Structure 1
Amino acid sequence: MALSRSTRVNILIGNGHFLSHFYILCLPPMFIVWQTAFNVSFAELGLTIALMSGTTAILQTPVGFLVDRHGARRFLVGGALLMSLSIAAMGLATSFWQVLVLATLSGVGNSVIHPADYAILSGSVDKDRMGRSFALHTFSGNLGFSAGPPVAACLMALVGWRGTLLTVGLLGIPVVLSILLQSRVLRDQVTTPAAHAGARLSGRDLLTSRTMILFFMFFALGAMASGGVQSWLVTVLHTVKGVDLPVAATALTAYMVGSTCGVLFGGWFADTFKHHVLPFITGLTILSALLMLAVDWLSLPIVAIFAMTFASGLALGASRTPRDVMVKDAAPPGEIGKVFGFVSAGLPLGSAITPVPFGMLIDRGHPELVLVLVAVVLLLSLFCGGSAQVSARTGEAVVLAAE
């Protein structure tokens, strides 16, 4: 049976997003072997992820401008191809500096994914199914993160680290070819008619507007909270609650599984209850924060800890797709690439901010405050999200008046 056009679009875009996340987390399993092979420190090894993620964060916004001006499809194909070839070439590296250069190049390719994906989805998918398409996009990225470490570790046991990188890198080529060969089903976003050009902000003014700065902070603060949980939940449960490390690690897995599953429910809600997105996000974010506080403050049996961490992840994950739809609705027609390039740059930035200061808090003997701060940051993110929504509605009214 032939697949519908929307299904084909979701598969093509989802495969590229899976690759972008998979390639980031297929590298950490190499670190132990690379330390011996290249005689480098763990700090130097950490540069691979830092350069890849940092390059992506820095370039997403300028790439978004290019996507809006020249169309998304060519950038999506080129970015995915550059990612794949860079990872494959790491398998041929003879010096560590070559790995760092290739990690940077992979980050350049990865910077295309978010602005191009959201621009294509916005132009290719029916409005009534936009939430579910955004949800599948996020879901595929989460699967890439989940699959990266175990797949890389298993392949290393079979073919060594060089064979692993060559294999996973070259496996991206069929994905790139499928996007290229079926690119006719990928439509770019609808652009604003020239007659309305005078009512539009310039790209720079748009991204520095109150609305977009608040959305950027909304994304960054949410990522800060998630990064704190992902980095330190295991340590907090072990040191504060006396939970065995394998059990604490399982609680983190429950949180991550809940977060991934919640994304799909959030997509359905965003399509079904379009006018209730902000209350939905608010309620679920507060619930996620309260559940984390309960895990921190209450004496709970292990099963209850698992249930609460899963539910906290589920609630926060379900709020993510409506958040993306809210940003899409606030973006002017033809500006989606730059808007998502800028706003989603808050995700890697936020994830990079909290691990170190939260770790310092633990070093000073206050691990019980980590989840409290996670809850506080989540509530601050709500203030930014709600303010951004109000600002977006006001801005829309101004533009309509100008027209």
Structure 2
Amino acid sequence: MAFSRTTRVNLLIGNGHFLSHFYVLCLPPMFIAWQRAFDVSFAELGMTIMLMSGTTAILQTPVGFLVDRHGARGFLVGGTLLMSLSLAAMGLATQFWQILALATLSGVGNSVIHPCDYAILSGSVDKDRMGRSFALHTFSGNLGFSAGPPVAALLMAWIGWRGALLTIGLLGVPVVVSILLQSRVLKDQVREVVHGAVTMSGRDLLTSRTMILFFLFFMLGAMAAGGVQSWLVTVLHDFKGIKLEVAATALTAYMLGSTTGVLVGGWFADRFNQHVLPFITGLTILSAVLIVAVDWLNLPIVVIIGLTFLSGLALGASRTPRDVMVKDAAPPGQIGKVFGFVSAGLPLGSAVTPVPFGMLIDHGHPELVLVLVAAILLLSLLCAGSARVSAKAEDAIALPAE
């Protein structure tokens, strides 16, 4: 069966995005084995994730500049290969500092994924299918997060942690080979500039009001999602007295809803591109209201699970229109740096909230966690609306001179 060109593009880009998320959450199941093998503390173990994610976040923007200047395909191939082989090499480590160094290298490789993926999708996919392609891209990353822990744990039980890492890391090699063999279907973003338009340097673009607001929008959304993912189980168990396994089911429902919602949002973005901001606004408010209802109301367990699913579904459905809104605001030929910059807000936001929310729980206020999650979601809408208005104003300035 022959796949269409768009389907092949989505598969190639989606496989790399799956791996980039999959690799991050393959590491936590290794922690107990590493503690025994290398006699290190949990704080030292946590540095592996910190170095991998932090390196990715820091390098995404400079990589975006390189992608815009030299094209995305070479960076995508090299980055995916470096990310994969670094993880495989962890299976050969004899000292823990080697694990840390390899985690950093894997983060370097991972940093190419968002700038390259969005630049290639923008150049390779027809405009009327862009929302669905962006949705499949996000969907594949969510699947990677979901698959990482169980796959790593099963492989560890079967062939040990060294064999598991070698196997998982080498999974990236056929992905790289497939990208090389099919590279002719991957086209870079269009770089044409309207004659007579006012142009901005890359630095001015990323420090513009529009891009700062989009960065904050991404970061605040990630802060809210990180609060739910890190503490929903604890809040439901400690504050509402729900059994631990039921509370974990509620979190699973939230994550399933979020993953499913991404596809809904992609369909909407293609059908109703001019109405993405009201769509994002309505769904974000709905997600916030539902998560507060779970917190405040005395509801049956089945209703709580249903509401967490719907809250995740609403927030997930708002994410692809968000990405399309950023893509539309990016000048021709500058999508790599724009997505490299604004998507750096995602790991930053995820890292911000777990500690202060944990302190709230430590001080006896678990009931405030989900309220603050809702407040952060509503605050993010101010950034989204302001960014949209600012982008339209800058488009007007950039119109060709008469």
CA–CA separation in structure 2 for the residues paired with 1:220 and 1:265: 22
Report whether the alignment pairs 1:21 with 2:3.
no
CA–CA separation in structure 2 for the residues paired with 1:298 and 1:57: 38
Residues 150-189 of structure 1: pairs in structure 2 closer than 5 A = 150-189=150-189
Contact 2:198–2:397 (Cα < 8 Å) also in 1: no
CA–CA separation in structure 2 for the residues paired with 1:384 and 1:266: 19
Residues 240/331 of structure 1: CA separation in 2 closer, same or farther (3 Å cut): same
Partner of 2:187, secondary structure, is coil
Q: CA deviation at 1:195?
A: 4.1
Amino acid at match of 2:31: F
Residue of structure 1 in register with 2:343 after alignment: 344
| Deviation string, structure 1 residues 77-113 (Cα, Å, up to 9, x no partner) | 0000001100000000000000000000000000000
Q: CA deviation at 1:171?
A: 1.3
Amino acid at match of 1:371: L
Q: CA deviation at 1:3?
A: 0.7
Residues 89-100 of structure 1: pairs in structure 2 closer than 5 A = 89-100=89-100
Q: CA deviation at 1:181?
A: 1.0
Amino acid at match of 1:93: A
Report whether the alignment pairs 1:63 with 2:63.
yes
Q: CA deviation at 1:53?
A: 0.2
| Deviation string, structure 1 residues 248-299 (Cα, Å, up to 9, x no partner) | 0000000000000000000000000111100000000000000000000000
CA–CA separation in structure 1 for the residues paired with 2:328 and 2:368: 37
Amino acid at match of 2:34: W
Contact 2:224–2:377 (Cα < 8 Å) also in 1: yes
Residue of structure 1 in register with 2:219 after alignment: 220
CA–CA separation in structure 2 for the residues paired with 1:157 and 1:45: 20
Amino acid at match of 1:89: A
Residue of structure 1 in register with 2:313 after alignment: 314
| Deviation string, structure 1 residues 304-351 (Cα, Å, up to 9, x no partner) | 000000000000000000000000000000000000000000000000
Amino acid at match of 1:324: D
Q: CA deviation at 1:192?
A: 2.4
Residue of structure 2 in register with 1:363 after alignment: 362
Name stretches of at least 5 consecutive residues in structure 1 with no aligned partner.
Answer: none
Residue of structure 2 in register with 1:238 after alignment: 237
| Deviation string, structure 1 residues 134-182 (Cα, Å, up to 9, x no partner) | 0000000000000000000000000000000000111110001000111
CA–CA separation in structure 2 for the residues paired with 1:383 and 1:194: 31
Residue of structure 2 in register with 1:148 after alignment: 148
Report whether the alignment pairs 1:305 with 2:296.
no
Residue of structure 1 in register with 2:3 after alignment: 3
Residue of structure 2 in register with 1:324 after alignment: 323
Q: CA deviation at 1:365?
A: 0.5
Q: CA deviation at 1:199?
A: 1.8
Report whether the alignment pairs 1:103 with 2:123.
no
Report whether the alignment pairs 1:256 with 2:284.
no
Q: CA deviation at 1:231?
A: 0.2
TM-score, reference length from structure 2: 0.99
CA–CA separation in structure 1 for the residues paired with 2:198 and 2:191: 14
Partner of 1:192, secondary structure, is coil
CA–CA separation in structure 1 for the residues paired with 2:221 and 2:272: 23
Q: CA deviation at 1:402?
A: 4.6
Name stretches of at least 5 consecutive residues in structure 2 with no aligned partner.
Answer: none
Contact 2:155–2:164 (Cα < 8 Å) also in 1: yes
Amino acid at match of 1:31: F
Report sequence identity in percent: 82
Amino acid at match of 1:166: L
Residues 282-293 of structure 1: pairs in structure 2 closer than 5 A = 282-293=281-292
Amino acid at match of 2:213: L
Moved over 6 A (4+): none
Residue of structure 2 in register with 1:87 after alignment: 87
Amino acid at match of 2:330: A
Partner of 2:318, secondary structure, is helix
| Deviation string, structure 1 residues 332-389 (Cα, Å, up to 9, x no partner) | 0000000000000000000000000000010010000000000000000000000000
Q: CA deviation at 1:194?
A: 7.9
CA–CA separation in structure 2 for the residues paired with 1:253 and 1:343: 27
CA–CA separation in structure 2 for the residues paired with 1:234 and 1:347: 22
Q: CA deviation at 1:2?
A: 1.1
Residue of structure 1 in register with 2:271 after alignment: 272
CA–CA separation in structure 2 for the residues paired with 1:302 and 1:102: 44
CA–CA separation in structure 2 for the residues paired with 1:245 and 1:45: 25
Q: CA deviation at 1:193?
A: 3.5
CA–CA separation in structure 1 for the residues paired with 2:225 and 2:167: 31
Amino acid at match of 2:184: R
| Matched length | 402
Residue of structure 2 in register with 1:52 after alignment: 52
Residues 393/193 of structure 1: CA separation in 2 closer, same or farther (3 Å cut): closer
